Amino acid sequence: MIGAPALQLDHLEYSGVRERMLKEWTREVGDLERRLPRANWPFGADLNSSGWPRFLESIPVALSERDMTWLAVQMNASKLWDPTRMQISKKGKPYPVRINIPALAITLSYGEFNIAYTRAVAGMALEQGIPTCEVYRAGATAVPRWACTCLEGPGVSCAAVLEGERAYFTGRFAEISIPAGPNCHHSIRIREWLSGASATADPRAAT
């Protein structure tokens, strides 16, 4: 059972956003498939041979017509994940640690959904001649992350958001990276869209 509420994404039903999310996700996955083995992808490290097909089949549905909570439910099954992962002790010795499957399902699903969303919103804003966005906390968290909390507010470059995408996951430096890493609860919104969002919103509702 998934008890974590979905992130509040202000423009999810704005006209064209879901379509752009799916388009960009499809493009990225196609590029990853050509270049890298899945073990080296920037997400899904704990998925097993059953988990990868389930995730790759489910996320397009989530992006186009469902939501991140629905996606997490699809991934919340022990048969989809490696039961343990290796960690290194203080003495430098590897040892297995049992994973928390519901937590991993949420982290993967919410994180990838939010990445697809921020990518779509930032890209569409730039195409409309809107250079900046607002970084905001889209969900509650027990321990605020300074790397993204310090960026909260308007005036954040949409181009920098796109440039910094997945910086944490790939180990490269970026001035801005939203979401900043696993379990980041920050996203972006466009102030210019807020007043007209209801008039241009996609009438479909995520369930």
Q: What mean pLDDT comes out for the span 51-68?
A: 98
For the chain, what are the domain ranges? Answer: 17-86+97-199
> How many helices (H) and strands (E) are present in the chain, helices listed first?
9, 5
As to burial, measured by CB atoms within 10 angstroms (0-12 exposed, 13-18 middle, 19+ buried), residue 101 is middle
CA distance 77 to 172: 32
Confirm if 28 and 1 have CB atoms less than 8 A apart: no
Per residue in 132-187, pLDDT (tens digit) is: 999 999 998 777 777 778 889 999 999 999 999 888 766 677 778 888 878 889 99
Helix (H, G, I), strand (E, B) or coil at 118: helix
Q: What mean pLDDT comes out for the span 107-113?
A: 96
Confirm if 71 and 62 have CB atoms less than 8 A apart: yes
DSSP-derived letter for residue 129 is: T
Taking the complete model, does pTM exceed 0.85, yes or no?
yes
Helix (H, G, I), strand (E, B) or coil at 17: helix
